[in-house]
Amino acid sequence: MSLNHSQLGKRLAHIERELAEINKALKSLKPKRALGFVAAIPPASVCKDALSHLVGTARGYEGVLATLAAYYQIPTMGLYHNPKRVQEAERVLGLKQMVAAAYFWQEGCAYTKETTVDRHTVLHEFFHHLVAQGVVIVKGEDAELRANEFANTILQRADL
């Protein structure tokens, strides 16, 4: 099949339109996996929406966790007040300093020591949930540092 110059131009224009549509669709996809965490941070609008649900207690963070889980298309992380579970994690992990909360990847939830929890702690534990769900991949020794960076970045994007 031979095409003349005019037909080639039309065919090329058609292919360029299709390519533009494909690129537009690819840009709209959310990251499902990211090495590190930068590519996994939601846009400011999602951060603000998620943190608009803040109440301050473990049960009051359900809206925050549901919004973020919906963005990442993963199950919502449970967050419960249970000091004994946190102490168990401290003991098993041999932690020298006390922690406010601990994530249990087998259960897909985090437990807190206190009934009131700060938003940084909730976001920090949610990062561990992202790792457990396979959304973010980090080296073991970097997990705590990356979780803190994730929480700080979300709070900055939400202007809190």
Same domain flag for 89 and 146: yes
32-45 pLDDT per residue, tens = 444 455 456 888 88
CA distances from 17 to 3, 7, 10, 108, 119 (A): 19, 15, 11, 44, 45
| Amino acid symbol at 155 | L
Q: Which has more pLDDT, 48 or 54?
A: 48
Please tell me the predicted confidence (pLDDT) of residue 59. 65
Q: Residue 121 belongs to what domain range?
A: 31-157
Please tell me the predicted confidence (pLDDT) of residue 121. 94
Judged against a pLDDT cut of 70, whether residue 136 lies above it is answered with yes
Same domain flag for 40 and 6: no
| Amino acid symbol at 151 | A
Same domain flag for 101 and 24: no
CA distance 62 to 103: 16
What average pLDDT does the chain have?
Answer: 82
Same domain flag for 80 and 152: yes
pTM of the prediction?
A: 0.73
Number of structural domains found in the chain:
2
